[in-house]
Amino acid sequence: MAIYLLGIDYGAGGAKACIINPDGDVLGFSFQEYPFYHDFPGWSEHDAGGYWTACCDMIEDCLEQARIDPSEIRGVAVSSALPSMVMVDRDGNPIQRAYNLMDRRATQEVNWLKEAIGEERIKDITANRIEDHPSIVNLLWEKRNRPDTFAQIDKALTIDGFVTMKLAGRHVVNYGGAPFYGVAYNLAESRFDEELMAEIEISPDLLPDLHRCEDIIGEITPQAATETGLAVGTPVTAGQVDFDASCIAAGVIEEGDIMSNLGTVGNFGVVFNNLDFAYSPIGLSMINLAFTVDSHDTYMTIPSTTTGGQSIRYLRDNFSQAEIEAERVLGISSYDLLNMQAEKVPLGSDGLVILPYLMGERTPIWDTMARGVIFGLSLNHGKGHLVRAMMEAVAYALYDSYQLIEKSGLKLNTPIILNEGGAVSTLWRQIITDVCNVPTVLVKRRTGAPFGDAILAGVATSIFPDYGIAKDWAEYVDRMEPIPGHHEQYLEYFALYKSIYENVKGDFQTLAKLRGQL
C-alpha cells in the first residue's frame, strides 16, 4: 500500500496545503488567499468559517493533483500563524470573526493586567512580554466589551486548533502554540497557571487540552471525511506553529540554526535550548516558544516586524492598479513589476526612509500604537523609491532585533536561510544580506510550512524516525554575500531610522488618543 502525508498551513493572509510521499516529493499543492477585516482602529480579523472552506477546497485540489486514494494518506498535521483566536460554541461553530496576529484592540486589558497582575510576574511565568500573546487578553476584552459573545464561548482555539477540531472533533493546542495564549502559560513547565487564571476570572475550561506536537489527538471523523474527501480514521496530529513548520521545511532543526520569512509578518527565528536566554532582558524583548523538534527541551525565539511582507502587499493593493492590471492581462507578476522599479533606485532610496509600522510594531520596540511614517519624501521620488524604501525599512526592523541577539551570545549558524514570501525577491534578499552583514541562502523548494506539517505528520505516525529527514532533504541556492561597504552605509540610515522613531513615538500616543484608542 502506498504512503502519503498531508500538511495544511494557515498564514496571516492565506492558506496552503500539500501532499507528499516518503521521498519528499510534492504530489499536490494548493494555495488560497483570504481577506482581512479592519473595521475599527487596531482590529484585524478573518472570517472564521472561511478557514474550513479553504481547507476543504485545498484538500480536494491536492487530491486531484496527486491522483491518489485518500485512504493512503497516513497522517495529517495543521499549523497556523499566531497569535490568533477562534471562539467556538458547544457545537463547534465560530462566534464572531476570528482574531488574527495583527489585532491590537485589547490595549486597555493589557494595561489592566500590568496593574493588577504585574509585568514582571507575567514575564516570570511566560518568558514573554504580554503585548504579543493576546488570546487570554482578548478573552478579557470579549468579557468586558461583548459579554453576550463571551457567554457563548465553549473554547478559545487557535486557527490550527479550529481546523484540527473540524477534522478530528477534539479541542487541542500544541506546546508550540500554547505560549501565544500568554499571561498564564508557563513556558518552562508547559502548563497553564490556574491560580493566575482564577485571579483574572477567566475559566481554564475555555482553553483547549495541551499536547506535544507529535501527539496523535484523533482521527478524521465521518463528517470531516464527507466534507474534505479524506478517509475516515486517518490520524490527525496536535499540529504546530506555522513558523516552526517553515523551519522544518527548510531543514532548520538544530541549535543555532536561523531562518527568515517575509510573509505577511516579517520575522526570523533561532533554535536554542538554553531557557535562561528566554528569561534574559534580550530574550524577553523577543517572542519565545517551544520548538516542534523537541517541545519539552528545545525552543525558538522569533523576532518579528508586524507587517513585513504585508507592507509590500499594501503598496501593491492600494497604489499599484497598473501593475495589477498588467498581471491580469499579461500574466506578469505585479510584485515582479514593482521589484523592477525598485531595482533602479540606489541604496538609501535617495534619502527616503520609512517606518513600516502599519499595524503597530513588535520586537524589539513593542509599540502597539506605532504607525507608518514616510520621511524625506520629495518630488524626485517615485513608486520605485517607495517600494525599495519599504524593503529597506523591513530589513532595518529585522536588524534591530538581529543585532541584539548577536550581542547576546546566543549561538547563530550562518548563513541565514530565507524561505517564504517576499524572499523570492533578489533585491530584497540582497538588502537583508547587506543590512545584517551576514551571508544568506534561499531554500530551493519553497513549498514552505505545509511541507513541514507533512514531515510532522510523518514523524507522528512513525513513517520517519525523527526530523533529521528535513535536514537531509533541505537544499539551498542563490547564496549571497554582503556587498563590501554597503553595511556601513546602511548603518547610517539605520541610525536615522531609529532616531525618527524616538522623535515621533510620543506623537503616536497623541494620535491614538485623538482616534479614541486610548
Q: What is the CATH number of the domain that holds 233?
A: 3.30.420.40
d(CA 88, CA 79): 18
Per the domain annotation, does 88 fall within a domain?
A: yes
The total number of structural domains that make up the chain: 1
Per the domain annotation, does 334 fall within a domain?
A: no
Q: What pLDDT score does 133 carry?
A: 67
Grid cell at residue 17: 496545503
Supply the range of the domain harboring residue 9: 4-243
Q: Tell me if 228 sits within 8 A of 167, measured CB to CB.
A: yes
Per the domain annotation, does 256 fall within a domain?
A: no
Q: Tell me if 134 sits within 8 A of 181, measured CB to CB.
A: no
| 210 CA to centre of own chain | 20
Return all residues near 34 (Cβ < 8 A) that are at least 6 apart. 13, 14, 15, 46, 47, 50, 51, 54
Q: What pLDDT score does 132 carry?
A: 65
Which segments of the chain have a pLDDT < 50? Answer: none
Q: What pLDDT score does 42 carry?
A: 85
Per the domain annotation, does 155 fall within a domain?
A: yes
Per the domain annotation, does 286 fall within a domain?
A: no
Per the domain annotation, does 209 fall within a domain?
A: yes
CA angle 268, 269, 272 (to 5 degrees): 160
What length does the chain have?
Answer: 518
pTM as predicted: 0.91
Q: What pLDDT score does 105 carry?
A: 92
Q: What pLDDT score does 53 carry?
A: 97
